[in-house]
Structure 1
Amino acid sequence: MSLNVLILGAGGQIARVATELFLKTSDAHLTLYLRQAQRLGRANTDRVRVVEGDVLDLPALTAAMADQDVVYANLDGPLEQLALNIVAAMRETAVRRVIFVSSMGIYREVPGEHYRSILDPYRDGAAVIEASGLDYTIIRPAWLNNRDEVAYGTTQKGEAFKAKDETVSRKSVAHLIIKLATTPGLEIGSSLGVHREDN
C-alpha cells in the first residue's frame, strides 16, 4: 500500500523540490495543499491531488487530512496558530506523523548569534508541535540555496548548530524530508538542525 502524504504550503520552494523528489524516488500519493492552487499548474500524474485551502481554515484542513499517513508542513505566517490547527486536524483524523519545517536559531543553538523577534513565530510553532504528543520531527535548516546537490548533516536539539556561515541546498532539505516520511520511526520526537556537509 502506497504512502499518502499531505504537503502543507505546497507552493513554497522547498515543498516544490520535495514534491518532485517524492514522485521520482517513491510511490507516494501526494495531496498538495496551498492557498493559491493556480501557482502549481496542472498535475501530470494521478499520484498528485491539488487542494486549494488555508491552514487557518480548520474544517478545510481537516477534510484534506482524511486518509493521510504523513503530514509535511512548510509554512510561514502565524506559525503558532497554524501549528495549533495542524495538531487539531491530526487529532480529529487520527493521523500521527508530522514533519514540520522551522528555522535554525530557535533554541539559540547557533554559536555567536542571537536572533530575537524575527524567530519568535518559528519558535512558537515548533513549541506547539513539540508539545502535541504526535510523532513529530522538526527540521531547522540553515539559510537556503538552490544548488543541485544533496550534501547535508544534522544536529540534534541541544547541540550547537554547525557551519553557521554556510547555506544548505533546498534539495538537501527535501531529501531529508522524503527520508523521514518514507522511513517508519525515523527521528520521531527529534528536532534536527540541517547544515551543509560534504557526504
Structure 2
Amino acid sequence: MANILILGANGQIAQLSENIFLDSTGDNMKLYLRRADRLRDKAAQYEDRIELIDGDTTDVDKLVDSMKDVDMVYANLAGGNIKDQAESVVEAMHKAGKTRLVWISTLGIYDEVPGKFGQWNNSTLGSYITNYAAAAKVLEDSDLDYTIIRPAWLTNKDEVDYEVTQKGEAFKGTEVSRKSIAQVVVDIAQDPSQFSKASIGVNKPNTDGDKPSWY
C-alpha cells in the first residue's frame, strides 16, 4: 500500500487516476488543489483513504508539509507558469526528502512529432509546447526519479489502449484516452521502477494521421 500525493487533483486525468486507485488498489491519496471544496464529496465518501489539501503548487512550504509520509508525487498541472510550478515541486521534494515524481507534460516538447502531424501540432499548440518543454527541463536537470508522460491528443473514450515511445524516438499516433494515461500513472505507483528517469510518449496504436481524427 502506497501513499500518493496528487497535485492538481481536480484535473480530468487526475480524477480518472483517483478512481482507479480507489477501485483497484489499496493506496491512499492526498489530493492537493486550489478550491479543494470541489472534491469534498469524494473525500467524504472515502475519508479513510483521502486527505484533502487546499493549496497552490507554487507554495513550497505547503508542498513540503503535504509530502510527509508520501511515497510518490503525481503532478497533473497546467498554466502559463508551469515552469515555476515545476521549480516549486522540485524544491519541495528536495526539502521533504522525496524522489519519485510522475509529471504530465505534452507531446512535441522535443520536436519529436514527425511529418505533417508534427507541423500541425507545433502550429496549434505554439507557446504551450515551449512552456511545457521548459518545465520538463527543470525535472530532467534535477536528481529526482522522475517520469515525464507526453500524451497524444486526449480523448474521453472509456478505454485503456496505448503504446509507449521513449525520448529520442519519433512520436507515434495522434490520440490517446485520458483513461489510458491515468492507468499508466497508477501502474507506475504499483511498480515505481517502471519508466524511471524516463520521458515517455503515450499514444493509442494505429491512430497515425496528419491531425487527430476529430479535427
Q: For the superposition of Structure 1 and Structure 2, which TM-score range results when normalised by the shorter chain?
A: over 0.9
Within the candidate set 78, 90, 94, 1:91 is matched to 94
Gaps of 5+ in 2: 207-215
> Are residue 184 (structure 1) and residue 183 (structure 2) matched?
no
Q: Report the counterpart of residue 158 of structure 1 in structure 2.
A: 168
Within the candidate set 59, 76, 79, 1:57 is matched to 59
Within the candidate set 120, 139, 146, 2:149 is matched to 139
Deviation for aligned residue 1:39: 1.5
Distance 1:197 1:174 in 2: 17
Within the candidate set 198, 202, 208, 1:194 is matched to 202
Deviation for aligned residue 1:58: 1.1
Distance 1:35 1:168 in 2: 27
**What does residue range 101-180 of structure 1 map to in structure 2 within 5 Å?**
101-112=104-115, 113-114=118-119, 115=122, 116-164=126-174, 167-180=175-188
Within the candidate set 35, 58, 74, 1:72 is matched to 74
Distance 1:130 1:66 in 2: 23
Q: How many residues align?
A: 195
Letter of the 2:28 counterpart: H
Q: Report the counterpart of residue 10 of structure 1 in structure 2.
A: 9
Q: Which sits farther off after the overlay, 109-118 or 178-187?
A: 109-118
Q: 1:85 aligns to what SS in structure 2?
A: helix
Letter of the 2:103 counterpart: F
Deviation for aligned residue 1:174: 0.4
Distance 1:161 1:34 in 2: 31
Gaps of 5+ in 1: none
Bigger helix fraction:
2
Q: 2:158 aligns to what SS in structure 1?
A: coil
Q: Deviations over 1:8-37 (max 9, x none)?
A: 000000000000001111111100000111
Normalised to the residue count of structure 1, the TM-score between the two structures is 0.95
Q: Report the counterpart of residue 27 of structure 2 in structure 1.
A: 28
Q: Report the counterpart of residue 38 of structure 1 in structure 2.
A: 37
Within the candidate set 85, 100, 103, 2:103 is matched to 100
Letter of the 1:79 counterpart: I
CA RMSD across the alignment: 1.1
Distance 2:40 2:155 in 1: 24
Percent identity among equivalent residues?
A: 46
Q: 2:70 aligns to what SS in structure 1?
A: coil
Deviation for aligned residue 1:41: 2.6
Distance 2:98 2:71 in 1: 6
Q: 1:40 aligns to what SS in structure 2?
A: helix
Q: Deviations over 1:92-138 (max 9, x none)?
A: 11111000000000001111224242311110111001111111100
Normalised to the residue count of structure 2, the TM-score between the two structures is 0.88
